[in-house]
């Protein structure tokens, strides 16, 4: 049995902030966590954010984007929750496998240990074995010595059966950690009842009661609301939820997620946290670069429309990082980028001109499986022939390669073996070492790989250097047996993996902007470092629009 303040928990000097949510999902826990982290970072603290998700999947890698939105991939090849994308976009600090843990991963670890006999014949139980493993992982990043503050977002809502072990683990950890080194921020909703003409606090009170019955007293409440919260109501919430009135933080709907750090600054969220955690040595927050970005975002001088051709376009979260990369690249160019989603399986040779009418650039999205593949081919043919700026990502590059084979190299049946295993011209194919893998989870080329860019190519000019590293998530590759024919016909392999020779970027030098990558540049675009390929693509779209 751990003693208070005497376990490994006490050995870390980091401070821990736990963020829970109540009343409903989609309150923006990820954005609030990222915004608080940004404010603390702006004061000079080293901050990281991790997410604990209550579902049983080992990771979101096998989840359909319709279920859980985009799967975000880290440098170390972890397939993670899309909130990690927000953490990186706000903080400009890479995350890793350690930043996302699911119930499935916890159980997998504990059950494997049980099979190995590590529990010496004991009954293995949620308390203490599962909670011990959760606590161990909650502390890991704090124990590296790299961070002053670790923010842990607990997925799901308070009251869900599956989040109970996480809440219990937080309860235990708070008891084990030294005084003033942890706190709980609870997010709730203040619904506005039109008929009554007022905000209602009851759901918040109930949600806090649920949290307390699980053993956690929140220190700070962040109340999501469509209207400003009157002072009298703040007092009421404070009284009935047992928090200080200054710790009732208003979180109004924002025009952009990137405005939320400033809204939280106005509400003094960072000051409350610093005071409660007795954080020493913080400076006045330096948010100049952030404000500069917001200024450019909100005062565009140009405007373009980009078609996003994809298979999951009904759900904006499925292409979260791509949409955000356009926000960053737009601000960089002082350009409002309107993304027009086009369902790829609606596209065909007859309607492509009509559906792409008026767009200034086309991005063909990543994806898996056959559905919508032929529609994407039509989109690429159209932009290639009409000199419309084009950007292909992952499957989008593979489509560009297949389209070129069919319509330029004269190989009408060329395809990717993912779409047609019998194609006589497998210009995109699976590599030998991938073929033996039959399990679906974690079987792809995942994470960061180096890439050497050809000097003078469009890609090299965009990056301003020849050596890059980008993140991957795919099984199929450009088939190098065809490479010479491509280059002779005018499609350049302008980026290659220096070790394997795999083609990572293709481009058409005789087109205003036709660049496609096997990797996912969108995953590395941040407010501080908008991705150069997105920046150049938006610039090409501006030029196209001006004619
Ligand atoms: N389905 C393709 C592959 O597995 C592309 C994957 C992707 O776009 N992320 O190679």
Say if CB 308 and CB 363 are below 8 A apart: yes
522 part of the active site:
yes
In the structure encoding, which two tokens stand for residue 267, read together? Answer: 């509400």
Kindly name the residue from 394, 472, 504, 531 that is annotated as catalytic.
394
Rounded Cα distance between 51 and 403, Å, is: 40
Kindly name the residue from 241, 504, 522, 531 that is annotated as catalytic.
522
Strand partners, 493: 506
Closest atom of ligand 1 to CA, residue 477:
10
**Residue 471 Cα, ligand 1 centroid: separation in angstroms?**
12
Helix (H, G, I), strand (E, B) or coil at 271: helix
Helix, strand, coil share of the chain (percent; to 5): 40, 20, 35
Report pLDDT digits (tens) over 281-308: 888 999 999 999 999 999 999 999 999 9
Residue 329 has pLDDT above 60, yes or no: yes
Peptide bond connecting 4 to the previous residue in cis, omega within 30 degrees of 0: no
**Which region among 240-249, 402-411, 440-449 has the lowest average model confidence (pLDDT)?**
440-449
**Ligand 1 pocket: which of 60, 319, 368 to mutate (most atoms within 8 A of CB):** 368
Give the residue ranges of DSSP H helices in 320-370: 320-332, 352-355
Spatial CB neighbours of 90, under 8 Å, sequence gap ≥ 6: 34, 35, 37, 38, 261, 526, 527
Q: What is the pLDDT of residue 282?
A: 82
Spatial CB neighbours of 39, under 8 Å, sequence gap ≥ 6: 261, 264, 265, 269, 270, 285, 287
From 525, 527, 524, 523, select the one nearest 38 (Cα to Cα): 527
Closest atom of ligand 1 to CA, residue 476:
10
Report pLDDT digits (tens) over 345-359: 999 999 999 999 999
Q: What is the pLDDT of residue 439?
A: 54
**Ligand 1 pocket: which of 473, 504, 519 to mutate (most atoms within 8 A of CB):** 473
CA distances from 74 to 110, 117, 509 (A): 24, 33, 31
From 305, 240, 519, select the one nearest 394 (Cα to Cα): 519
Closest atom of ligand 1 to CA, residue 428:
10
Q: What is the pLDDT of residue 11?
A: 67
Report pLDDT digits (tens) over 331-350: 999 999 999 999 999 999 99
Binding residue ranges for CTP: 25, 160-162, 200-205, 236
Alpha carbon nearest to ligand 1 atom 3, residue: 474
Question: What domains are defined for the chain?
Answer: 15-180+254-290 (3.40.50.300), 300-546 (3.40.50.880)
**Residue 479 Cα, ligand 1 centroid: separation in angstroms?**
14
Inter-axis angle of helices 532-546 and 320-332, nearest 10? 60
**Residue 396 Cα, ligand 1 centroid: separation in angstroms?**
9
Around ligand 1, the residues with Cβ closer than 6 Å are: 366-368, 394-395, 418, 473-476
**Which region among 109-113, 230-234, 420-424, 443-447 has the lowest average model confidence (pLDDT)?**
443-447
From 12, 16, 243, 29, select the one nearest 154 (Cα to Cα): 29
Q: What is the pLDDT of residue 6?
A: 47
Spatial CB neighbours of 132, under 8 Å, sequence gap ≥ 6: none
**Residue 367 Cα, ligand 1 centroid: separation in angstroms?**
5
Binding residue ranges for Mg(2+): 83, 153
DSSP 510: T
Alpha carbon nearest to ligand 1 atom 6, residue: 474
**Residue 47 Cα, ligand 1 centroid: separation in angstroms?**
33
Residue 513's pLDDT band (cuts 50, 70, 90):
very high
394 part of the active site:
yes
Rounded Cα distance between 343 and 356, Å, is: 11
pTM: 0.94
Residue 10's pLDDT band (cuts 50, 70, 90):
low
**Residue 133 Cα, ligand 1 centroid: separation in angstroms?**
34
Query: Sheet holding 182-190: strands in order across?
Result: 100-102, 47-53, 149-154, 15-21, 182-190, 220-225, 248-252
């Amino acid at each position: 049995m751990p003693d208070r303040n005497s376990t490994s928990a006490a050995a870390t000097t980091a401070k821990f902030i736990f963020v829970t949510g109540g009343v409903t999902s989609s309150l923006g826990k990820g954005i609030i966590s990222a915004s608080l982290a940004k404010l603390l970072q702006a004061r000079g603290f080293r901050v990281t954010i991790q997410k604990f998700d209550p579902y049983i999947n080992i990771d979101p890698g096998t989840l359909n984007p319709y279920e859980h939105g985009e799967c975000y991939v880290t440098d170390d090849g972890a397939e993670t929750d899309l909130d990690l994308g927000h953490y990186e976009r706000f903080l400009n600090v890479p995350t890793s496998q350690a930043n996302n843990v699911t119930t499935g991963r916890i159980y997998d670890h504990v059950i494997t240990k049980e099979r190995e006999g590590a529990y010496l014949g004991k009954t293995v139980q949620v308390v203490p074995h599962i909670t011990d493993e959760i606590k161990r992982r909650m502390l890991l990043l704090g124990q590296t010595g790299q961070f002053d503050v670790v923010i842990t977002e607990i997925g799901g809502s308070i009251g869900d059966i599956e989040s109970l072990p996480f809440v219990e683990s937080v309860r235990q950890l708070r008891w084990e950690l030294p005084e003033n080194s942890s706190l709980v921020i609870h997010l709730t909703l203040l619904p506005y009842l039109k008929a009554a003409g007022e905000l209602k606090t009851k759901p918040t009170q109930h949600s806090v009661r649920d949290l307390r019955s699980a053993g956690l007293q929140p220190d700070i409440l962040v109340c999501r609301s469509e209207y400003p919260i009157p002072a009298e109501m703040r007092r009421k919430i404070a009284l009935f939820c047992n928090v200080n009135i200054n710790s009732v933080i208003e979180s109004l709907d924002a025009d952009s997620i990137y405005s939320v750090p400033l809204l939280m600054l106005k509400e003094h969220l960072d000051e409350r946290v610093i005071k409660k955690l007795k954080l020493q040595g913080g400076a006045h927050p330096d948010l100049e670069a952030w404000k500069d970005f917001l200024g450019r975002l909100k005062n565009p001088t140009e405007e373009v429309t980009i078609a996003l051709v994809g298979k999951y376009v009904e759900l904006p979260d499925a292409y979260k990082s791509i949409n955000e990369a356009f926000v960053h690249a737009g601000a960089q160019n002082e350009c409002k980028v309107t993304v027009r989603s086009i369902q790829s399986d609606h596209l065909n040779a007859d309607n492509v001109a009509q559906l792409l009418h008026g767009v200034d650039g086309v991005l063909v999205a990543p994806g898996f499986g056959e559905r919508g593949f032929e529609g994407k081919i039509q989109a690429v043919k159209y932009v290639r022939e009409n000199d419309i700026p084009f950007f292909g990502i992952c499957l989008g590059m593979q489509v560009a390669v297949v389209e070129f084979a069919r319509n330029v190299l004269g190989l009408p049946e060329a395809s990717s073996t993912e779409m047609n295993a019998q194609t006589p011209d497998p210009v995109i194919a699976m590599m030998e070492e991938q073929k033996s893998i039959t399990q679906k989870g974690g079987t792809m080329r995942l994470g960061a790989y180096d890439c050497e860019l050809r000097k003078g190519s469009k890609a090299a000019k965009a990056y301003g250097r020849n050596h890059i590293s980008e993140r991957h998530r795919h099984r199929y590759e450009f088939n190098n047996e065809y490479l010479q024919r491509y280059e002779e016909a005018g499609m350049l392999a302008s980026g290659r993996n220096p070790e394997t020779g795999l083609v990572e970027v293709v481009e058409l030098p005789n087109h205003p902007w036709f660049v496609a990558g096997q990797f996912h540049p969108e995953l590395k675009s941040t407010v501080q470092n908008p991705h150069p390929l997105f920046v150049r693509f938006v610039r090409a779209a501006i030029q196209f629009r001006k004619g």
